């Protein structure tokens, strides 16, 4: 089976980008190792502090962030970094050509119960005229991403990746410490009968979203005419991976408890990379009214309403939100 590095050399003409992806993969092996050791490595539980998102940080949020930050800042080709766990962008090498944005540990509420978590990353070209620590350098719509992917720390550790030319997955063989090619040109079914949403928030959604989900629950007796199944892992990485594997739609919509925020999830660390992967696999990423990849960020920590998955189902959600 082909090793990640060989695959990249064959499929990507940008050597700098290959270095960056390879470094993320290398760091993710250390994160995977700590996650596997869990309590034995003393990495479970809370860090006892809040991040810029107003969330309580887990120890592993901080550890994964530091591993990525230190490992990526060491690469000469990286000009700047932005992370869910860092208040400000981190300037690196002034001559670097890339910006890397990441959610170091996604689904961190799952870490203490030994359920799937992930790392999400997005790579942008660094504008020549702006410093790598300047937030404005990062404020590019998702369609400008050069590459995006995630690492899923589950029963197996997987790396799923796009460099804008299809979606590929790799399984970490811990016996040799290498990611090996698993699936090529992943395609997501256009139709589905499976959805993922945190139903406990139902009463706080907009009427259009409430109506749509009510119709999903009506099954074959409703206007959508089929019986739907539901899954909620509470790790976006796990939900998106399930959808890339067997179809579905994942939603995290606007919520009336925080009316000024467009949604809970972060545009640049979560929604953009996952939307690029889904669109590269033939699916769609939408805010429910527009393409996520076209949203112009105003700040690195911007939030967004998210509907990602099988193209026809995402289009159906958009129809419920028209007018």
Site for Mn ion in 82-101 (CB under 5 A): 84
Q: How far apart, in Å, are the Cα atoms of 103 and each of 209, 253, 276?
A: 27, 19, 15
Q: At residue 98, what are phi and psi to the nearest 5 degrees?
A: -130, 150
Applying CB under 6 A, among 15, 36, 87, 109 the residue interacting with ligand AHG is 109
Work out whether 255 is an interface residue with ligand AHG (CB under 6 A).
no
Q: Which residue is nearest to Mn ion (CB)?
A: 106
In contact, 59 and 46? CB cutoff 8 Å: yes
CB-side exposure of 157: number of CA atoms within 13 Å? Answer: 23
Instruction: Kindly tell me the sign of the dihedral angle through the C-alpha atoms of 195, 58, 267, 144.
Output: negative
- Contact, 286 vs 314, CB < 8 A? yes
- What is residue 79's three-state secondary structure? strand
Residues 61-100 that bind ligand AHG (CB under 6 A): 84
Q: Are 137 and 130 spatial neighbours (Cβ–Cβ below 8 Å)?
A: yes
Q: Is 302 in the site for Mn ion (CB under 5 A)?
A: no
217-236: contacts with ligand AHG (CB under 6 A): 234-236
- Count of residues interacting with Mn ion (CB under 5 A): 6
Binding mask 48-67 for Mn ion (x = CB under 5 A): -------x------------
Could you tell me the two tokens for 143?
């369609």
x-marked contacts with ligand AHG along 147-186 as a string, rule CB under 6 A: ----------------------------------------
* Residues annotated in a binding site for substrate: 106-109, 198, 264
CB atoms inside a 10 Å sphere around CB 242: 18
Q: Which is nearer to ligand AHG, 17 or 120 (CB)?
A: 120
Residues in touch with ligand AHG (CB under 6 A): 55, 84, 103, 106-109, 198, 234-236, 252
Residues in touch with Mn ion (CB under 5 A): 55, 84, 103, 105-106, 270
């Amino acid at each position: 089976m082909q090793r990640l590095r060989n695959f990249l050399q064959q499929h990507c003409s940008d050597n700098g980008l290959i270095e960056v992806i390879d470094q993320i993969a290398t760091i993710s092996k250390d994160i995977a190792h700590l996650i596997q050791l869990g309590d034995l490595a003393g990495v479970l539980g809370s860090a006892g502090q809040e991040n810029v998102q107003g969330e309580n940080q887990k120890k592993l949020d901080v550890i994964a962030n530091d591993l990525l930050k230190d490992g990526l800042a060491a690469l000469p080709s990286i000009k700047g970094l932005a992370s869910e766990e860092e208040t400000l962008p981190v300037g690196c090498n002034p001559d670097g050509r890339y910006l890397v944005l990441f959610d170091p540990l996604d689904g961190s509420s799952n870490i203490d119960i030994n359920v799937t978590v992930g790392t999400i990353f997005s790579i942008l070209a660094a504008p020549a005229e702006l410093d790598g620590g300047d937030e404005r350098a990062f404020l590019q719509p998702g369609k400008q991403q050069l590459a995006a992917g995630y690492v899923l720390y589950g029963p197996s550790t997987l790396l799923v990746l796009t460099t804008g030319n299809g979606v590929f997955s790799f399984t970490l063989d811990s016996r040799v410490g290498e990611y090996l090619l698993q699936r090529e040109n992943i395609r997501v079914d256009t139709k589905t009968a499976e959805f993922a949403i945190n139903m406990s928030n139902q009463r706080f959604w907009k009427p259009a979203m409430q109506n749509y989900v009510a119709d999903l629950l009506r099954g074959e007796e409703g206007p959508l005419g089929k019986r739907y199944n539901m899954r909620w892992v509470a790790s976006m990485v796990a939900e998106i991976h399930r959808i890339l594997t067997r179809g579905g739609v994942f939603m995290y919509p606007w919520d009336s408890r925080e009316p000024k925020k467009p949604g809970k999830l972060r545009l640049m660390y979560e929604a953009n990379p996952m939307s690029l992967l889904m669109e590269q696999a033939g699916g769609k990423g939408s805010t429910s009214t527009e393409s996520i990849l076209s949203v112009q960020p105003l700040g690195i920590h911007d939030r967004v309403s998210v509907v990602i998955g099988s193209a026809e189902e995402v289009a159906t959600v958009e129809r419920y939100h028209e007018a």
